[in-house]
A and B are shown apart, each in its own frame.
Chain A
Amino acid sequence: MIKKIFDKLFEYLLAFFSFITFLIMICIFVFLIREALIIFEYQTGITNIFYSWDKFGILSFEWNPASKTPKYSIIPLVVNSFKVAFIALAFSIPIAFFTSIYTSQYVSLKVRFWIKTVLEFISSIPSVVLAFFGFVIFSEILGYIFSFEFKLNGFIAGITLGFGIFPSVYTIYEDFLYSIPKDYKEASYALGANKIQTIIKVIIPFSLQGLLVAVLLGFNRAIGETMIVMMLGGNIPILSYNLFDPVLTLSGTISGEMGEVIFGDIHYSILFILGIILFFITFLFNMLTLILMRSIKKRYNFI
């Protein structure tokens, strides 16, 4: 009897805990939307969060909440967010790609274990520490090499961010490469191909989907990252396609301005709209990776 009761209670406890996370998720979303809807109490119009007309009647995309007539265009923030994320990816993908091919195909198990452990250790460094490291070292070295116009800019932020996300891209892609069935490789060897030919013609084409999954997850981490971009990005909301200009990203704006803003103000609700946009971007990319993973599982029956 007691056994049965305990059994049932245990089940309920587990159900309770798994339900809590679900509930918190819904609460967060409801909260975000509720605070964002404050914007409709003001007669500024929802189009103001995309563009505004400046005093000469020219279309302008400007983020300047402290101006006499506040301008809340989110376009530069979104563009800057993507810009930094792409710099980070451009830096981290090649490194992760070559490292994972090396550790999965060339080295012994022992060496692979050590390289993997060290790289996974990098991914556990808090982003504040990494940001400070970038602030002291990367900005000096890169500033010396490139002699930037700005001491802190999107390029430095992107490189440091790339350094932060590269271990996670590496781990996912390396696991994928490592779990490719031996039959494929051996079939290639049997046909007379050497190691390089096997890697280029068999392994890499086979693993492209795995690379895409790794890159998408890396992108998700890069676009939500706050501390590195805030400390190194320079935080100027200018709309430019120059990689060496300072950037102000979505997450940087939220964490930088939330503390001092007037609660219930239009600026406050727009910060929540930024949060919703960020939420949707990461949600979209998460869904994409999930779909990809499922298709991989179906097709190859491994991982």
Chain B
Amino acid sequence: MNKIKFFSIILFISFFIIIFLFFWDSNFFVIRKKITIKGSETILALNYQWSRYYTKKNPEVSIEITGGGSGVGISSIINRIVSIASSSRRIRKSEIKRIKKMGKTVKEVVIALDSIIIYVNKSNPINTITLNQLQEIYLGKIQNWKEVGGKDEKINLYGRESSSGTYGFFKKKVLNKEDYYNRVISLAGNATIINAIRKDEKGIGYASFSMVKDIKKLAIKVKNKEIYPSEKFIKNKKYPLIRNLYYYFIVEDLKNEFYVFDYINWIKTKKAQSFCIRTGYFPVNIV
């Protein structure tokens, strides 16, 4: 009997400790300005860079960042779970409709530019490609590297999963909204695609700009002019495959959280935009 008593006391105590730890937070007793951001996995790295710098400059603000995907982010601002949604795709009409039904308005801020780059293996002899050729490759009309000036080998196609923003962007810009050939291997994330192409000599794939060295970035030929995926061409918006990255927030929900606007305004400054290049994106204001 004594033993049971002893254990039950320990259990009770540990139970309350667990509950205490659950609700206890390092800033539980200090009123802090808390910004929460949720959304796209692509923007995650950039968000971390920004938040680290911003919270160092403004120690009374704490920024909480989580991934999960653009769709999750936008549904989270609708449900008032977070204050800002980061998204790699534009908000859809059906989502705007849901917000309007609640009598609220959503605001959009372009935070950075992302370029979609065509990657091939380092051993591949071709250097340039036209958008038309790219379309035919991804529709399955061209299936051999010989037809675009390479070796006599089959083309292995790589792409993103069908719900990702990059997939939709590529489909709209390159494929003219036609369906992908059903032999495109879809992988999650930029890094996985780049890794796969690094090892596949016959592979071709699209992903965001990456600093990885041993992989070939194809230049895109527009009107007999080769445009390399370099900083210069992307900043000038000459490069054809550029898309915007967004922040979304609902104005009515942020009435008492004015400091969120300070953060958003800070992102548009030159200092904040200089973080973009470090993470593989490009600044917005230099156009």
Residues of chain A at the chain B interface (Cβ within 8 Å): 3, 6-7, 9-10, 13, 64-68, 135, 139-140, 149-152, 230-231, 234-238, 246, 248, 256-265, 267
Cβ–Cβ contact B15 & A13, under 8 A: yes
- Taking the nearest CB of chain B, how far is it from the CB of A167, in angstroms? 27
Interface string of B184-215 (1 = CB under 8 A from A): 11111000100110011001000000000000
Q: In the bound complex, do residue A151 and residue B162 qualify as a contact, i.e. CB atoms below 8 Å apart?
A: no
Contact across chains for B68 and A6 when beta carbons are under 8 A apart:
no
B116 to chain A, nearest CB (A): 16
Residue of B nearest to A238 (CB): B182
Residues of A within 8 A of B186 (CB): 234-236, 248, 256
Given known pairs A67-B179, A260-B70, the reply for A151 and B196 (CB within 8 Å) is yes
Stretch of B1-9, B22-30, B54-62, B216-224 on the interface side: B1-9
Within 8 A of A (CB), among B1-51: 1, 4-5, 7-9, 11-12, 15, 41
B84: min CB distance to chain A, Å: 17
Contact A68 B177 (CB under 8 A): yes
> Distance (Å) between the CB of B237 and the closest chain A CB?
25
User: Which residues of the partner chain B approach A262 to less than 8 Å between Cβ atoms?
Assistant: 71, 74, 92, 94-95
Q: How far is the CA of A259 from the CA of B264 in the complex (A)?
A: 24
With contact pairs A236-B182, A260-B164 given, residues A6 and B4 touching in the complex (Cβ less than 8 Å): yes
Query: Which chain B residues border A260 with CB–CB below 8 Å?
Result: 69-72, 89, 161, 163-165
- Closest-CB distance, B12 to chain A (whole angstroms): 7
Assess the A256–B161 pair: CB atoms within 8 A.
yes
Given A150-B156, A260-B165, answer yes or no on A3-B89 (Cβ-Cβ < 8 Å). Answer: no
Interface residues on B, range: 35 or more
Q: How far is the CA of A6 from the CA of B15 in the complex (A)?
A: 15
Q: Is B183 an interface residue (CB 8 A)?
A: yes
**A235, A261, A262 — most chain B CB neighbours (10 Å):** A262
Known: A151-B200, A262-B94. A236 touches B71 (CB 8 A): no
With the chains together, A188 CA to B75 CA distance in Å? 67
**CB-based closest 5 A-B pairs:** A259-B69, A263-B75, A10-B8, A260-B163, A257-B163
Q: Does B167 contact A (CB under 8 A)?
A: yes
Closest B residue by C-beta to A149: B154
Which residues of chain A come closer than 8 Å to B104, judged between CB atoms?
A: none
In the complex, A83→B184 CA distance in Å?
20
Please indicate the chain A residues that have their CB under 8 angstroms from the CB of B94 in the complex.
262, 264-265
| Docked complex Cα distance between A64 and B184 (Å) | 12
- Closest B-chain residue to A139, C-beta based? B199
B270 located at the interface, meaning its Cβ lies under 8 Å from any Cβ of chain A in the complex: no
Return B60 CB to nearest CB of chain A, in Å.
Answer: 32
- A13 touching B8, Cβ below 8 Å: yes
Minimum CB–CB distance from B32 to chain A (whole Å) comes to 29
A9 partner residues in chain B, CB cutoff 8 A: 8, 12
Question: For residue A265, which residues in chain B have a CB less than 8 angstroms away from its CB?
Answer: 94
Q: For the complex, what is the distance from the CA of A231 to the CA of B168, rounded to whole Å?
A: 21
Given known pairs A65-B162, A235-B186, A236-B183, the reply for A263 and B196 (CB within 8 Å) is no
**A236 with B185: CB separation less than 8 A:** yes
Residues in A neighbouring B95, C-beta threshold 8 A: 262-263
CB distance from A168 to the nearest CB of B (A): 26
Question: Within 8 Å of chain A (Cβ to Cβ): is B141?
Answer: no
Taken together as a complex, chains A and B put the C-alpha atoms of A154 and B194 apart, in Å, by: 20
State in angstroms the CA–CA spacing of A67 and B162 once bound together: 9
Q: List 10 A-B contacts (CB under 8 A).
A: A9-B8, A10-B7, A151-B200, A236-B185, A236-B186, A238-B183, A256-B186, A261-B163, A262-B95, A264-B94
Partner of B168, one of A66, A149, A248, A259: A66
